Copies of this chain bind each other. A is one copy, B any other.
């Protein structure tokens, strides 16, 4: 109680707020999820990898909608122009494919049909619920909280590097082409989060906002973690695949 009180009544310094945000990542960012340990350690089966790629597609495909919902709350044209880059990164431009296309190349690389993946027909309902909860959060919460929820990117480069190394070491499907999505994020995410973190720290100028930033990042970690929980339950242990979800070798 004492600690909660101090968080809610006193304004933290920028450094202390950043430290609290980083602690959330240290505690519950999904790099620590058992499914990722399995995947990166070389112990995931092909169907498990396929299930991961198939389900995670829902998240990838939702990111531009999430960023557009954020954009729709920004009154400042300059801020919109900076944030728009994220939509371009995922949807692509006339010159360059985006992250969604790179994810579909990964899907083909692990032996899935791109149209089936992009239909999201075989994805777990729990995946979709978590993903849409994120879009709804950003749509319905104040802009500040929506931007704060993006700060999981603080922790993404470490995970992506670990993933690239682990996948290349352990799996035949892994190569520069299939892993291009992650390779690209290594440069995109730090650029995005540098701006996002600075903006949040600068605008977290009341105890309520600081608590909002912490809650938003906590929520977003839950969104990521819940997707892997659903995957683990269905395709690892106990392996209880719900009705209508993708069945390996189908």
Q: Write the residues of chain A forming the contact surface with B, with a CB cutoff of 8 angstroms.
A: 61, 64-66, 68-75, 77, 80-81, 84, 87-88, 90-93, 98, 100-101, 135, 139
Contact = CB atoms under 8 A, between A and B. Distances in A.
Contacts of A98: 77
A82 to B, nearest CB: 10
A93 B84 CA distance: 10
Contacts of A139: 72, 139
Contact of A65 (B64, B72, B90, B93): B72
B80 A64 contact: yes
B65 A91 contact: no
A73 B81 contact: no
A65 B139 CA distance: 12
28 contacts: A61-B75, A64-B71, A64-B77, A65-B71, A65-B72, A65-B74, A65-B75, A68-B68, A68-B69, A68-B70, A68-B71, A68-B72, A68-B74, A69-B69, A71-B87, A72-B72, A72-B139, A77-B91, A77-B98, A77-B100, A77-B101, A80-B87, A80-B91, A81-B91, A81-B92, A84-B88, A84-B91, A139-B139
Given A69-B69, A77-B92, 13 more contacts: A64-B80, A65-B72, A65-B75, A66-B72, A68-B70, A68-B71, A68-B72, A69-B72, A71-B71, A72-B72, A77-B91, A80-B87, A139-B139
A62 to B, nearest CB: 9
Contacts of A93: 81
Nearest to A84: B87
A171 to B, nearest CB: 27
A74 B100 CA distance: 14
Contact of A68 (B80, B92, B100, B101): B80
Contacts of A100: 77
A93 to B, nearest CB: 8
A69 B80 CA distance: 13
